[in-house]
C-alpha cells in the first residue's frame, strides 16, 4: 500500500515524461489533412491544441491582409486544424501558418501566423524553483536557441568549469554571452504563484538525460506573460539591454515597497494543561520583545494567536502589537486534554485562513508537545494531512516554524510528531530541509529563549531592510546562517544560537520571494533549457505543473467525490468497485453517459475528465481496477480512501481561494487558471 499511495509523488516528479508518449513538435507525430477536421496526436489521438500570444490576429487566409478576428484572447486554448509551411529553425521568429478553431466540433475560424501561436499538447508548464540563499543559491536558468549548444555544455567532461566560466562572463560588463544563449532567468526569484507577476512557461518538447544521479531533462519551453508582450518582432533576449539590466539585478529594495514592509508572527499553540509553562514563557518572551525591541525601533511587528486542543479558537481575529498580544495571552488558561493527540492540523488551517497584514513577511510558529490527529481520525477536523497543509501555506506565502516540546513520558509519540511537524515546516527554497525545532520539555527557559530570539531576529532584520537605501544589497540573503537537523535542544545558549540561525534562514528565504516581485520573467522567447542547475545538477531549477482551469478542477472534484462514494459503498455492500461506481454515477444522473463495462482501470473508464487521463504520468489511483481493489486489505482501503479525501479537501480549499489568475479579462471566472503541483493530483 505504501507503493500505492506514494506512486504519484515518484511518478509525477521523477518520471513525468517517461511514462507517456513523447511530447514532441515534429509533424510526423501529428495527423492533419482531413478537411475541417482537427489535427490529432498520432500516439494518443488527442486533439492538438495551441495558445495564441497577446495581440494576435486570425486571418481569413494564410496571408497577411483580411483580418477575421483581431486581438484574439491571449493564451485561451484553441485547436489546430491544419499547418502550412511551419518552420521553427529560427525559434525566436517561427515561420508558417496554423489553421485554428475554438472547438473540435465547429468549423475553423481562420489562420494564424506561427509566430503568434504556440503548440501545446498538454496543459503542462514549468515554474522556476526558489533559487535559495547564500552559498546554497542555484544559478539562473540559461535559455539556448538550439538544443545542440546546450548539450555541448551539459554533456562536456568539463561541464562544471565551463558552466562556471559562462556565468562569470555573464556577470561582467559588458556581458560575455555564452555560445547559443539567447536569454536567461532573472537573478531575482519570479514566483509563478505571484498573481501580479504571473507567467507561463509551456512545455513544447523534451529529451531525457541520464548522466546525473537524478533524472534530468532538456525542455523546450515558450516564455510568455499574460496581457504583456514586447513590440512586434521583439523579445526579451540578451541583445535587449533593458531586459539584461533587470534580469541581472540581485535582491535590493529598488522597485519594491520595502519601506512599508512588516512582519506578522502568528502562533498556533497547544493550550491543553501540559502547555501552561510554555504559554507563560511565550508571554514573557513577547513582552521582552515589545519593551526591548519594538519600543526602540519601528519594527511593524504584529502578532496573532490560534489555540488548539481537540478544537480551535482564534484569540486575535485582527493581528495586534506586542503589548496587546501580551494582554491576550495572559488571559489564556491551559486546560483539558483527553487523548494525547490534539488538533494541530486544524490550528494550522485556521491560522492560514485568518487575518494577515498587507505587505508583510508572514510567519507561523507552531508550538506543541503532541502530534495531530491524522487524516482519517474521527477528531481530524480538516480532512487534510501535513503535506497538503504545508502546500496550502506555501500557496499563501506563509513560512512555518514548528517548535516540538519533547516530553520524555511521551516518547512513543515523538516520531509521529516529528514527521508531522517537520513536514509542516518544510523550507520552500530547499524542501529536504525543515524549520523543525525540537526542545527538551524540562527546559522552559530554553523554549522562552527560542521565542524571544526568533521574534527579535525577524523584526530587526526586516527593520534593516526597510531602512536600507534603494539599490542596497540585502546582506541576510547573501550570508544565511547554516540550518542543520536538530535532535533535542536542552540549553538556553544552544537554543539562542540555533533559533537565530533558523530565523535568519527563514527571513532570507521569505525576502527572496518578496523582493522578487520587482523582477519580470522573459517574454516571447522559445528556447531549450535544462531543468537543473548546470553547475550543480543536484539542485532542481524548474518544476513541472499543470495549468488547470477552475472549471476543470470542479470537474475533477465531482469525479473524485463519486469515486470516494463508490469505495465506501463497495466496503459496505461487498460489491465490486466498478459496480458500485456505476451505481453512484447512475444515481447522479449520468448513467446514460458513462458505462464501466469492459473498463480496465479508472483512468480508462471515462469518468475522470479527459485532460487528466491524457497526462503523461502514472498514479495507482488512476490505475485502480476491480482486481487491484479486491487485493487491498481493509487498512489499505482506508488509506486509499483517506488519500483521495485529503486531495479533495485540498482542491476545495484551492477552489475557494483567491489564488486564481485571469489570463484574459474577457474570460468568465471558471476560465481562470492555477498552476497546481503535479504531486497534488490524484
Name the more confident of 146 and 469.
146
Of the candidate ranges 123-127, 155-159, 251-255, 351-355, the one whose mean pLDDT is the lowest: 251-255
Of the candidate ranges 4-18, 178-192, 550-564, 597-611, the one whose mean pLDDT is the lowest: 4-18
Whether the predicted pLDDT of 161 surpasses 90:
yes
Name the more confident of 152 and 599.
152
The model's confidence at residue 572, banded by pLDDT at 50, 70 and 90, is confident
Residue where one domain finishes, among candidates 121, 144, 167: 121
**Taking all residues of the chain, what is their mean pLDDT, rounded to a whole number?**
85
Name the more confident of 542 and 204.
542
pLDDT, residue 11, reads: 31
Mean pLDDT, residues 357-382 taken together? 92
Q: How many domains does the chain have?
A: 4
pLDDT, residue 478, reads: 81
- How far, in Å, CA of 302 to CA of 287, rounded? 13
- Tell me whether residue 459 is in a domain: yes
Residue where one domain finishes, among candidates 103, 121, 139: 121
pLDDT tens-digit profile of 599-632?
A: 677 877 778 887 776 676 667 788 888 888 888 8
pLDDT, residue 372, reads: 96
Of the candidate ranges 146-160, 162-176, 492-506, the one whose mean pLDDT is the lowest: 492-506
Residues 564 and 626 placed together within one structural domain of the fold: yes
Residues 81 and 182 placed together within one structural domain of the fold: no
- Tell me whether residue 605 is in a domain: yes
Whether the predicted pLDDT of 455 surpasses 60:
yes
Residues 611 and 498 placed together within one structural domain of the fold: no
- Tell me whether residue 10 is in a domain: no
Q: What percent of the chain has pLDDT over 70?
A: 90
Of the candidate ranges 72-76, 208-212, 402-406, 448-452, the one whose mean pLDDT is the lowest: 72-76
Whether the predicted pLDDT of 251 surpasses 60:
yes
Residues 398 and 534 placed together within one structural domain of the fold: no
Residues 532 and 471 placed together within one structural domain of the fold: no
- Tell me whether residue 325 is in a domain: yes
pLDDT, residue 494, reads: 86
Mutual angle of helices 276-289 and 322-330, in 10-degree steps: 160
- Beta strand 360-368 with 262-270 is parallel
Residues 523 and 511 placed together within one structural domain of the fold: no
Q: At which residue does the C-alpha cell 508571554 appear?
A: 283
pLDDT tens-digit profile of 257-282?
A: 788 899 999 999 999 988 999 999 99
**For residue 74, what is the domain's CATH number?**
2.30.30
Of the candidate ranges 47-51, 250-254, 505-509, the one whose mean pLDDT is the lowest: 250-254
Residue where one domain finishes, among candidates 100, 121, 142: 121
Prior bond to 531 cis, omega within 30?
no
- Tell me whether residue 471 is in a domain: yes
Name the more confident of 246 and 335.
246
pLDDT tens-digit profile of 504-557?
A: 999 999 999 998 888 888 888 889 999 999 999 999 999 989 888 898 899 899
pLDDT tens-digit profile of 115-138?
A: 998 888 777 889 999 999 888 899
- Tell me whether residue 404 is in a domain: yes
pLDDT, residue 626, reads: 84
Residues 82 and 145 placed together within one structural domain of the fold: no
pLDDT, residue 131, reads: 93
Whether the predicted pLDDT of 666 surpasses 70:
no
Of the candidate ranges 231-235, 252-256, 627-631, the one whose mean pLDDT is the lowest: 231-235
pLDDT, residue 74, reads: 72
- How far, in Å, CA of 439 to CA of 430, rounded? 23
Name the more confident of 464 and 347.
347
Helix (H) or strand (E) holding 349: helix 344-353
Name the more confident of 321 and 572.
321
Order across the sheet with 262-270: list the strands. 312-314, 301-308, 262-270, 360-368, 398-406, 436-440
The alpha-helical segments, DSSP class H, found in 516-549 are none
The model's confidence at residue 46, banded by pLDDT at 50, 70 and 90, is confident
As a residue count, the chain comes to: 682
Residue 89 burial by Cβ neighbours in a 10 Å radius (0-12, 13-18, 19+): exposed
pLDDT, residue 296, reads: 67
The model's confidence at residue 256, banded by pLDDT at 50, 70 and 90, is confident
Q: At which residue does the C-alpha cell 527593520 appear?
A: 463
Residues 428 and 559 placed together within one structural domain of the fold: no
Mean pLDDT, residues 38-48 taken together? 80
Q: What is the pTM of this model?
A: 0.85
Grid cell of 283 as nine digits: 508571554
Name the more confident of 27 and 182.
182
- How far, in Å, CA of 32 to CA of 253, rounded? 52
pLDDT, residue 295, reads: 66
Whether the predicted pLDDT of 26 surpasses 50:
no
Residues 462 and 493 placed together within one structural domain of the fold: yes
Of the candidate ranges 154-158, 171-175, 338-342, 543-547, the one whose mean pLDDT is the lowest: 338-342
User: Which structural domain, as residue segments, surrounds residue 67?
Assistant: 24-121
Residues 600 and 534 placed together within one structural domain of the fold: no
pLDDT, residue 229, reads: 59
Residues 353 and 447 placed together within one structural domain of the fold: yes
pLDDT, residue 542, reads: 94
Q: At which residue does the C-alpha cell 491571449 appear?
A: 74
Residue 154 burial by Cβ neighbours in a 10 Å radius (0-12, 13-18, 19+): buried
Over its C-alpha atoms, the chain yields an Rg (Å, rounded) of 27
DSSP 5-46: HHHHHHHHHHSTTTTS------GGGEE--STT---EETTT-P
- Tell me whether residue 11 is in a domain: no
- Tell me whether residue 74 is in a domain: yes
Q: Which residues contact 124 (CB under 8 A, 6 or more apart)?
A: 23, 202, 203, 544, 545, 546, 547, 615
Residues 157 and 192 placed together within one structural domain of the fold: yes
Amino acid at each position: 500500500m505504501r507503493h500505492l499511495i506514494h506512486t504519484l509523488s515518484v511518478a509525477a516528479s521523477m518520471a513525468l515524461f517517461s511514462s507517456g508518449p513523447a511530447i514532441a513538435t515534429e509533424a510526423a507525430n501529428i495527423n492533419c489533412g482531413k478537411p475541417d477536421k482537427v489535427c490529432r496526436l498520432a500516439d494518443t489521438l488527442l486533439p492538438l491544441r495551441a495558445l495564441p500570444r497577446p495581440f494576435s490576429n486570425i486571418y481569413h487566409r494564410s496571408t497577411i491582409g483580411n483580418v477575421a478576428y483581431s486581438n484574439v484572447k491571449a493564451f485561451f486554448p484553441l485547436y489546430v486544424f491544419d499547418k502550412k509551411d511551419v518552420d521553427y529553425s529560427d525559434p525566436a521568429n517561427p515561420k508558417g501558418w496554423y489553421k485554428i478553431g475554438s472547438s473540435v466540433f465547429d468549423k475553423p475560424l481562420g489562420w494564424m501566423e506561427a509566430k503568434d501561436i504556440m503548440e501545446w499538447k498538454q496543459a503542462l508548464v514549468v515554474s522556476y524553483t526558489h533559487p535559495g540563499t547564500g552559498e546554497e543559491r542555484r544559478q539562473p536558468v540559461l535559455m539556448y536557441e538550439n538544443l545542440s549548444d546546450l548539450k555541448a555544455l551539459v554533456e562536456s567532461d568539463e561541464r562544471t568549469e565551463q558552466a562556471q566560466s559562462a556565468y562569470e562572463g555573464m556577470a561582467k560588463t559588458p556581458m560575455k554571452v555564452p555560445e547559443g544563449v539567447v536569454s536567461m532567468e532573472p537573478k531575482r526569484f519570479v514566483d509563478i504563484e505571484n498573481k501580479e507577476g504571473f507567467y507561463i512557461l509551456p512545455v513544447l518538447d523534451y529529451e531525457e538525460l541520464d548522466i546525473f544521479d537524478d533524472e534530468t531533462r532538456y525542455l523546450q519551453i515558450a516564455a510568455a506573460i499574460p496581457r504583456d508582450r514586447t513590440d512586434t518582432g521583439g523579445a526579451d533576449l540578451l541583445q535587449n539591454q533593458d531586459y539584461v539590466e533587470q534580469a541581472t539585478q540581485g535582491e535590493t529594495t529598488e522597485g519594491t515597497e520595502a519601506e512599508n514592509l512588516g512582519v506578522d508572527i502568528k502562533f498556533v499553540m497547544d493550550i491543553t494543561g501540559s502547555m501552561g509553562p510554555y504559554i507563560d514563557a511565550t508571554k514573557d518572551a513577547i513582552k521582552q520583545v515589545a519593551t526591548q525591541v519594538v519600543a526602540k525601533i519601528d519594527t511593524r511587528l504584529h502578532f496573532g494567536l490560534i489555540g488548539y486542543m481537540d478544537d480551535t479558537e482564534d484569540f486575535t481575529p485582527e493581528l495586534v502589537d506586542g503589548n496587546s498580544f501580551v494582554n491576550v495571552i495572559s488571559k489564556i488558561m491551559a486546560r483539558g486534554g483527553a487523548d494525547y493527540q490534539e488538533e494541530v492540523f486544524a490550528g494550522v488551517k485556521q491560522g492560514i485562513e485568518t487575518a494577515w497584514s498587507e505587505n508583510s513577511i508572514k510567519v507561523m510558529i507552531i508550538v506543541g508537545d503532541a502530534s495531530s490527529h491524522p487524516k482519517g481520525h474521527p477528531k481530524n477536523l480538516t480532512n487534510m494531512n501535513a503535506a497538503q497543509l504545508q502546500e496550502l501555506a506555501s500557496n499563501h506565502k506563509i513560512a512555518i516554524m514548528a517548535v516540538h516540546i519533547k516530553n520524555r513520558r511521551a516518547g512513543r509519540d515523538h516520531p509521529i510528531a516529528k514527521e508531522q511537524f517537520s513536514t509542516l515546516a518544510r523550507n520552500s527554497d530547499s524542501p529536504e530541509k525543515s524549520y523543525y525545532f525540537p526542545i527538551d520539555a524540562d527546559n522552559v527557559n530554553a523554549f522562552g529563549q527560542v521565542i524571544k530570539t526568533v521574534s527579535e531576529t525577524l523584526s530587526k532584520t526586516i527593520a534593516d531592510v526597510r531602512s536600507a537605501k534603494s539599490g542596497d544589497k540585502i546582506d541576510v540573503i547573501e550570508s544565511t546562517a547554516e540550518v542543520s537537523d536538530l535532535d533535542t535542544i536542552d540549553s538556553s545558549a544552544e537554543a539562542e544560537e540555533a533559533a537565530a540561525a533558523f530565523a535568519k534562514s527563514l527571513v532570507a528565504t521569505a525576502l527572496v520571494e518578496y523582493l522578487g516581485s520587482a523582477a519580470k520573467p522573459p517574454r516571447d522567447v522559445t528556447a531549450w533549457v535544462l531543468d537543473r542547475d548546470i553547475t550543480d545538477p543536484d539542485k532542481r531549477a524548474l518544476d513541472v505543473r499543470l495549468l488547470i482551469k477552475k472549471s476543470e478542477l470542479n470537474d475533477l472534484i465531482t469525479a473524485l467525490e463519486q469515486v470516494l462514494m463508490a469505495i465506501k459503498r463497495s466496503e459496505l455492500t461487498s460489491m465490486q468497485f466498478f459496480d458500485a461506481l456505476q451505481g453512484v454515477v447512475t444515481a447522479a444522473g449520468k448513467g446514460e453517459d458513462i458505462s464501466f463495462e469492459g473498463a480496465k482501470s479508472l483512468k480508462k473508464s471515462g469518468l475522470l475528465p479527459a485532460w487528466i487521463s491524457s497526462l503523461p504520468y502514472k498514479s495507482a489511483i488512476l490505475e485502480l481496477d476491480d482486481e487491484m481493489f479486491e487485493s487491498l486489505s481493509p487498512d489499505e482501503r482506508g488509506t486509499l480512501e483517506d488519500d483521495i479525501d485529503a486531495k479533495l479537501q485540498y482542491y476545495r480549499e484551492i477552489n475557494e481561494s483567491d489564488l486564481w489568475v485571469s489570463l484574459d479579462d474577457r474570460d468568465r471566472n471558471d476560465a481562470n487558471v492555477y498552476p497546481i503541483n503535479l504531486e497534488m493530483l490524484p
